């Protein structure tokens, strides 16, 4: 004991240093020796794994499955591998990716809707569940290196900002590396890119295209893995944005298809089926299903409408062939490095059927058309030679989408019918697929079967836990046996399909289907919810009816009732009852948003890469922006939102003059500019006075310097909901495609230089 000088009370003293040392030593001895640190050892002869997932490609699009688009890389893989002609997806982007990477039903993984229409309803939240771990997490624990390249579309929007959290970014769910874009689409020439969790600018160069870039990155990463740890197996997940809109590809690829679609979509659909029968990818007795009533016949179009439609289809075809050529570069690289023969290569030609979201007439700027702001035919004709370049954001007419799902009914989004869910797939693994190479497999297969097949190939079971979390059983099942035996038994007996209320149940060769009324080319149109009980169920015997052409609902009411009961049972198991369309619940059950109910926003100079939907709400209301900066001869971006075809940017040109550009798709654009250079301490402001009276109205813009107006202008219409689904709100730089008309010699993103930006303050008026 000793006494404190403060109180005189006896106080305990800390043990002397030797005493502390003795206690630590005793604790270490009792704890025993430290566990040995070892690296995970891959299974013996573990193959490399490559999964390629294309976007918005119908069953009848590729030459491999009888289509009009040349896909030599897919053809070459089919010659040494196997074509699967009964391979199914979920019918839309995010759910297919969730099912593919987890081996579970998309609803079980909590991604039953595309992220753009997710809600708080369980099964549809767009938030991957930890109990449905990805194949990347499992393979990494087995000693694999794992890399994701291209489109992700599985990170909740409110977690996509620089703040994270990053748990559901690719590197948070098992991938060692990620290079690509987070949203459902991106500009192919000026993409919104991320490396890991950091926003990055695309490499400099005039001939840039993002598909070429991500394949370069994938090849380089494989080389890095092999150089650092030779012989270590790798998993490459390569998901190009193609052939999802925007249909953007260099002109030489478009010119390859000039004049090849003059016969129109009705005739194309017949021609595709003829080729499919000749190739043997469909049975000889396959019937061609009829067109939806609302879809116009090709001959009903005017000569000018046909001219635009042909050019849009030529662009799609060039885009898809260009993408396949990049996959060919990857397969060539694997061959050159001696890695191809022991690579299980799964090439899925579409995450769903072809997309009809370009509308009945197609569009040169389809994001506007989706929101009820279409361009005129005259504008389309004026832009004819530009379609596919960096100034357009095109999508082809719905008629082409329907043709490219030949011989099936419907298109993307329509999970009730095979046009939405069935795509062509090729699997190659030369070390295993030998005598039957070049063959066809017709076992019913679903995208959620890929993960169980990989685990089966490695001779490992589904892990009970991943990162300490007990795992949900797989919904898919292995098709490994079919790789060596054409007569392998059916491995997948039952599968529920559901997207936006369109629903079906497959069971042992039979399918019951219910279309939920909303036409797939009216995705951006606001409609009243349609009661599920009003939907009409159909019944098909797919064992005898390959194309789902003969509705047996009236002839087989007992079988239909049996399958309807099975659908209810599966929906109950997945926890998605009562069933509601995601398109109807995304607004009634909204997900979190970083902006909350705020009307005042203040950003510093590091506010970069904020998803547009998480930035200040600037639609259907008045708003003001004030930016304070200081410095001599400033130039560069102050603040921006959106991109080239729709968005705005406040910036200083090379002469330090303030400029404001606002573009509302093809319906209006204004550029305001001050005559004099700014210098020193200055405040730049933009005021927008909204006309009111509803959504998408116009209004008056004013550009001010230190409170004094220097220019003003009027715009006729503004977007009702968004400029884009992939661009961002940025301060001090413009990421993604440029929203401003920047100087030709400016660096990518035109970052602010010569000045210090203090704050950007935005105040928004009330919503209508």
pLDDT in tens, 239-283: 999 999 999 999 999 999 999 999 999 999 999 999 999 999 999
Give one word for 752, left, alpha or beta, with left for phi > 0 and alpha for psi -120 to 50: beta
In degrees rounded to 5, what are phi and psi of residue 688? -125, 120
Q: Which two three-digit tokens encode residue 162? A: 């620089």
Mean pLDDT of the residues in the chain: 94
Q: How confident is the model at residue 26 (pLDDT cuts 50, 70, 90)?
A: low
Q: Is the pTM higher than 0.75?
A: yes
Is 111 a residue whose pLDDT tops 60? yes
Task: Please give the pLDDT value at position 768.
Answer: 78
Task: Please give the pLDDT value at position 35.
Answer: 77
Measure the CA angle with vertex 103, ends 100 and 107; round to 5°. 85
Mean pLDDT of 338-359: 97
CA distance 176 to 218: 12
Mean pLDDT of 583-598: 91
Q: How confident is the model at residue 522 (pLDDT cuts 50, 70, 90)?
A: confident
Mean pLDDT of 490-499: 98
pLDDT in tens, 719-741: 999 999 999 999 999 999 999 99
Task: Please give the pLDDT value at position 12.
Answer: 43
CA distance 98 to 537: 27
Closest CA to 55 of 192, 189, 184: 184
Task: Please give the pLDDT value at position 64.
Answer: 98
Is 304 a residue whose pLDDT tops 70? yes
548: CB partners within 8 A, 6+ apart: 289, 408, 409, 417, 418, 511, 513, 540, 542
CB atoms within 10 A of CB 576: 21
Domains and CATH numbers, the chain: 48-493 (3.40.720.10), 503-585 (3.30.1120.10), 600-764 (2.60.120.200)
3-state SS, residue 647: strand
């Amino acid at each position: 004991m000793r006494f404190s000088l403060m109180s005189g009370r006896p106080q305990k003293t800390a043990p002397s240093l030797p005493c502390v040392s003795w206690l630590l030593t005793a604790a270490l001895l009792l704890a025993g020796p430290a566990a040995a640190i070892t690296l995970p050892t891959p299974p013996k002869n573990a193959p490399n794994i490559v999964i390629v997932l294309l976007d918005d490609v119908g069953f009848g699009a590729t030459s491999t499955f009888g289509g009009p688009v040349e896909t030599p890389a897919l053809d070459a893989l089919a010659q040494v591998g196997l074509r699967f002609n009964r391979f199914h997806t979920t019918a839309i982007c995010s759910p297919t990716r969730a099912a593919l990477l987890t081996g579970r039903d998309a609803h079980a993984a909590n991604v039953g809707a595309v992220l753009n229409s997710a809600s708080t309803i369980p099964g549809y939240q767009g938030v991957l569940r930890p109990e449905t771990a990805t194949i990347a997490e499992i393979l990494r624990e087995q000693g694999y290196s794992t890399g994701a390249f291209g489109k992700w579309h599985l990170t909740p929007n409110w977690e996509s900002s620089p703040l994270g959290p990053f748990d559901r970014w690719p590197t948070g769910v098992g991938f060692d590396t990620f290079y690509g874009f987070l949203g459902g689409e991106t500009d192919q020439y000026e993409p919104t890119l991320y490396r890991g969790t950091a926003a990055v600018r695309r490499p400099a160069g005039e001939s840039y295209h993002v598909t070429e870039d991500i394949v370069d990155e994938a090849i380089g990463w494989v080389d890095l893995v092999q150089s650092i740890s030779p012989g270590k197996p790798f998993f490459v997940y390569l998901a190009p944005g193609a052939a999802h809109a925007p249909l953007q590809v260099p002109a030489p690829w478009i010119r390859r298809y000039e004049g090849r679609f003059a016969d129109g979509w009705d005739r194309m659909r017949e021609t595709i089926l003829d080729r499919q029968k000749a190739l043997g990818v469909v049975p000889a007795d396959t019937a061609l299903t009829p067109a939806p009533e609302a879809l116009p016949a090709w001959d009903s179009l005017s000569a000018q409408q046909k001219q635009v439609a042909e050019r849009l289809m030529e662009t799609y075809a060039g885009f898809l062939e260009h993408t396949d050529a990049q996959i060919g570069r990857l397969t060539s690289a694997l061959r050159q490095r001696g890695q191809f023969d022991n690579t299980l290569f799964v090439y899925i030609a579409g995450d769903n059927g072809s997309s009809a979201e370009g509308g009945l007439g197609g569009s040169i700027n389809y994001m506007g058309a989706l929101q009820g702001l279409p361009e005129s035919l005259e504008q389309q004709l004026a832009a004819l030679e530009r379609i596919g370049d960096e100034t357009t954001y095109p999508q082809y007419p719905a008629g082409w989408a329907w043709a490219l799902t030949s011989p099936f009914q419907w298109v993307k989004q329509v999970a009730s019918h095979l046009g939405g869910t069935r795509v062509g797939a090729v699997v190659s693994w030369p070390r295993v697929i030998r005598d039957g190479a070049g063959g066809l497999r017709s076992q019913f297969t679903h995208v959620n079967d890929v993960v169980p097949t990989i685990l089966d190939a490695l001779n490992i079971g589904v892990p009970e836990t991943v990162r300490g979390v007990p795992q949900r059983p797989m919904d898919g099942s292995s098709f490994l046996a079919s790789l060596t035996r054409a007569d392998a038994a059916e491995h997948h007996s039952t599968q529920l399909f559901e997207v936006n209320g369109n629903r079906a149940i497959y069971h042992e060769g039979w399918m019951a289907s219910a279309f939920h009324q909303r036409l797939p080319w009216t995705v951006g149109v606001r409609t009243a919810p349609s009661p599920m009980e009003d939907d009409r169920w159909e019944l098909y015997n797919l064992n005898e009816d390959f194309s789902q052409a003969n509705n047996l609902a009236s002839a087989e009411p007992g079988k239909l009732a049996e399958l309807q009961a099975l659908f209810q049972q599966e929906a109950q198991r997945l926890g998605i009852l009562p069933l509601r369309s995601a398109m109807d619940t995304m607004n009634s059950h909204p997900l979190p948003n970083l902006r909350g109910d705020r009307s005042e926003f203040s950003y510093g100079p590091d506010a970069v890469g904020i998803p547009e939907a998480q930035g200040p709400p600037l639609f259907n209301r008045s708003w003001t922006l004030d930016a304070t900066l200081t410095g001599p001869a400033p130039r560069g971006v102050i603040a921006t939102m959106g991109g080239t075809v729709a968005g705005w940017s406040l910036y200083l040109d090379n002469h330090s003059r303030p400029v404001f550009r606002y573009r509302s798709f093809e319906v209006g654009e204004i550029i305001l500019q001050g005559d004099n250079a700014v210098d020193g301490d200055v405040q730049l402001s933009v005021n927008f006075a909204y006309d009111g009276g509803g959504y998408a109205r116009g209004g008056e813009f004013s550009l001010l310097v230190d409170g004094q107006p220097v220019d003003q202008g009027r715009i006729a219409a503004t977007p009702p909901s968004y400029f884009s689904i992939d661009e961002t709100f940025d301060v001090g730089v413009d990421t993604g495609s440029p929203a401003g008309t920047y100087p030709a010699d400016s660096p990518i993103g035109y970052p602010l230089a010569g000045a210090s930006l203090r704050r950007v303050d935005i105040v928004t008026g009330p919503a209508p």
